[in-house]
Amino acid sequence: MSTATGCITGWTLSAPDDWVTLPASFDDVTDTLLAEATTSDDAARYLREYVRATLPALASDDPLLVALWVPDPELGAPMAVLRAVHYRNADPDVYEQMVANAETDEGGSLLGVERTDGEVDAGRLLVMERQEAWANGTVEHQLHLGVFPEGTDEAVVLVFICTALHRIDELALIARDITDTMRLRIEEEAS
């Protein structure tokens, strides 16, 4: 963990065209936005119902960004969710323990957690992969890509959540590509 006193004051990243970025204010999620991501009324309706059903969970932790991966606009079914979260007083080892020890769905079980470390232009990269089986038999795969830049004790973590197990390898490549585009602005705190 860095002992520097800087703060993350801005950030950017880019996602492919088949990712639907939800507005910063979830009250602004419109039928028009969801219809633009799909090619049929049925697909738009499915996506709208998905967003409405998952909105409370997506908005928890006051994320910087929420996006949905909708690779097939004819179906409108999200294959993954991306949440970007800003952490203060961040430590990669503490974050690893938080992911590894997170509670599973009631009646579910943890299938595995793996950690790898790396670098991206924005800073040190911690990649955590977590799989858990839910009580209903669904398997959820989480990719946590935490960027811990020099000059600050803060981090931005991109959390990709996917239950479409046949798309996980593809999602892992996309997640890394999105993380590679991240740029962070760090400014010194005033004394």
Contact of 93 with 101, CB cutoff 8 Å? no
pTM over 0.75: yes
pLDDT digit string (tens) for 161-191? 999 999 999 999 999 999 999 999 999 876 5
> What domains lie within the chain, and their CATH numbers?
7-188 (3.40.1000.10)
Within 8 A by CB and 6+ apart from 152, the residues are: 2, 4, 5, 6, 7, 8, 186
pLDDT digit string (tens) for 97-120? 999 998 887 888 999 999 999 999
